[in-house]
Structure 1
Amino acid sequence: MDTLDDLFARLRVATAPAEIEALQEGIWQIWLTTGHPLLDKHLEAGMRYLSAEDYTLAIREFTELIETSPDYAESWNKRATAYYLRGEYRASLLDIQQTLRREPRHFGALSGWATIVRMLGDDAGTLRVWQRLERLCPNWPGLQAQMRDLRDRLDEANGI
């Protein structure tokens, strides 16, 4: 079985969208493995509540998971997602920071961070987050075009 490091090394050089997607799926499978039945129960319940759009109960489950296993990055990421979907962007950003502190390569957290920063109108901040994503996977589908468009907009705004 591939380790996270193996999958990320392959993701860095992958060029085909199907290959990138398969590598991301492999990474998600590892991230979604807590290694403990009680933690799995909270994760699964939180994800069910998230799918049912019951963000309050999802946040409660992910918080329980965080309190039980604070080093498990995915619990922070899932709670960040629930906060985002509930419109609580500041809380989401704080949990994204915690996710990235535990797993700096977390492309889901980086993507969420870029989405929030872009919504808040911070093009330069969005570009910085996308550059971190680019270091993980330069051929992420659509990333280069989005970065080019954003750089053009920043250049126009700066009179370049």
Structure 2
Amino acid sequence: MKFFKPIFLIGCFFLNSAAADQLDSRLIELFDKLYIAESKKEINTLTQDIWKIWDETNDPKIEAYYYRGLEAMRMGDFVMSIDLFTRVIEKNPDFAEGWNKRATVYYILGQFDKSMIDINKTLLLEPRHFGAMDGMGLIFIQLQQYDKAMKIYDQMLEIFPHSVDTLAKKKLMQEFISQSI
């Protein structure tokens, strides 16, 4: 199951190169378009636009901590990135992407319990956060809880039902479940 970690990390670094304010009114239209989008290109463009909004902190001090945390992640300084994302969360506990980024670092470190706590907080603040959902699905895969992972991918398909990537992950979970019976 270790092959999922690189996929998750690549998604984190390329899809989330910004961070989000989950209350931004622009998200309504983007999620409406994402729901009906059928092409992979259109889905990718819309998800990138959503990530860009999610990455907006609207606070220069938080933004400095946030982007330093991203840089620390890229450099493999996970202790520093946890510290910086924790500062973001302390300054603005309603900023969902701060929680999501710290969850990502905990996932990288194999600290799934801590990652799951932060993922749940992210989803409490932004129930449509497909990145956090995907992270939760990957944790369930690592724990070989394929039925739970499949439920997460079903939830993601409610957000963008034509996502080839999510459909493929769901199919893989179905295969894992059938093999484990």
CA distance in 2 between counterparts of 1:29 and 1:46 reads: 16
Amino acid at match of 1:121: Q
Q: Kindly report structure 1 stretches of 4+ aligned residues shifted beyond 4 Å.
A: 155-158
CA distance in 1 between counterparts of 2:26 and 2:107 reads: 30
Amino acid at match of 1:12: Y
Question: Among residues 126, 129, 152, which one is paired with 1:106 in the alignment?
Answer: 129
SS across alignment from 1:74: helix
| Offset of residue 145 of structure 1 | 3.1
CA distance in 2 between counterparts of 1:50 and 1:152 reads: 33
- The TM-score with structure 2 as length reference comes to 0.83
Residues 10-51 of structure 1: CA deviation (Å, up to 9, x unaligned): 011101111000001100110000001001101111000011
- The TM-score with structure 1 as length reference comes to 0.93
Q: Equivalent residue for 2:34?
A: 11
Q: Equivalent residue for 1:36?
A: 59
Change (3 A) 1:81 1:156: closer
Amino acid at match of 1:48: E
Change (3 A) 1:70 1:151: same
Q: Equivalent residue for 2:74?
A: 51
Q: Equivalent residue for 1:142?
A: 165
C-alpha RMSD of the superposition = 1.6
SS across alignment from 2:164: coil
Question: Among residues 119, 138, 149, which one is paired with 2:142 in the alignment?
Answer: 119
Question: Among residues 103, 106, 127, which one is paired with 1:80 in the alignment?
Answer: 103
SS across alignment from 2:89: helix
- Length, aligned pairs only: 158
| Offset of residue 86 of structure 1 | 1.3
CA distance in 1 between counterparts of 2:162 and 2:135 reads: 18
CA distance in 2 between counterparts of 1:127 and 1:3 reads: 29
CA distance in 2 between counterparts of 1:141 and 1:103 reads: 23
- Identity percentage of aligned residues: 32
CA distance in 2 between counterparts of 1:62 and 1:44 reads: 9
CA distance in 2 between counterparts of 1:155 and 1:89 reads: 25
| Offset of residue 144 of structure 1 | 1.9
